[in-house]
Amino acid sequence: MSATRTRVIAALVMAPFAIGAILLLPTSWLVMLAALVFLVGLWEWFKLAEIDDTLQRTVLLTANLLLMVLLVWASRGSTDLVPLRLMALVGAGWWLLALLWLRFFHFASDHETWARVFKLAAGTLAVVPAWCALGLIHSSQPNGHIWLFVALAIVWAADSGAYFAGRHFGGRWFAGRKLAPRISPNKTLEGLLGGLAAGMLVAAVGALLAGAGMAQLPGVLLVAIFTVLFSVVGDLFESLLKRHVGAKDSGDVIPGHGGVLDRIDGVLAALPIFVLGKEVFGF
């Protein structure tokens, strides 16, 4: 079976379960399921950070799980879920800093302890705020479950749009210039534009389904643009981690797709940005 066919079949199997969980499960159950998925991705992140000892990785994963539990516990007495909102804001700030890390490609690229510390901190700042943002979006009223689906659909559509635009138009419009040649040589500027177009289209349709009015569409589209752009940052950052250690994929859990982190890298960066935009524009 070809790699492409395996990839498509795996996606067709996973998609109904993911969509059903988002649209049908109550927030409490969804965040527990999401925590499991995100923590598997974090386990793979630790591997890319060269934490090879299973016990050490287990201790680190447990510490992050306890942080999640602590955030939920601290939010129980807050009607505005302030701890979760603050953590999501921290996540958005972290991804802005990640842009600098992408600019300085060789930062923490060696195999020393101090480099691992930076990458471990980055893992927590990527995964935990994204999980908080997921819960905030899903629990928001009205139609939080639809808004979460819209946020994720923007990322999925942007990924597909970038792939097809890159394959059909890559190198034609910008004289062969690449988006980030040292980090991900296959990503093109044409692909980025295709991803933006696809993400904005899905955002417009999804917003109407979620009950947004026409007056709110400009705000939704602006948030969609930044959501797509930061999903690319998340994708590039994981690619940077893989290049530092010479890995092709973060794992082999999903046939044809690699690891869990390979599937959620863009989502990790997109969710804090989306929830921040949702709060600012009030949709």
DSSP 23-42: HHS-HHHHHHHHHHHHHHHH
Q: Residue 160: its pLDDT value, please?
A: 92
- CA distance linking residue 72 with residue 273, whole number of Å: 20
- CA distance linking residue 85 with residue 105, whole number of Å: 31
Under the phi-then-psi rule, with left for phi > 0, alpha for psi from -120 to 50, and beta for the rest, what region is 260? alpha
Q: List the structure tokens of 243.
A: 């290049």
pLDDT in tens, 135-172: 999 999 999 999 999 999 999 999 999 999 888 887 78
For residue 186, what are the domain limits?
3-281
pLDDT in tens, 70-109: 999 998 876 778 999 999 999 999 999 999 999 998 898 8
Low-confidence ranges of the chain (pLDDT < 70): 1-8, 10, 78, 252, 254-257
User: pTM for the whole thing?
Assistant: 0.92
Q: Residue 31: its pLDDT value, please?
A: 96
Q: Residue 101: its pLDDT value, please?
A: 95
Q: Residue 227: its pLDDT value, please?
A: 98
In the chain, how many domains are there? 1
Q: Residue 199: its pLDDT value, please?
A: 97
CA dihedral 21, 27, 31, 33 (to 10 degrees): -30
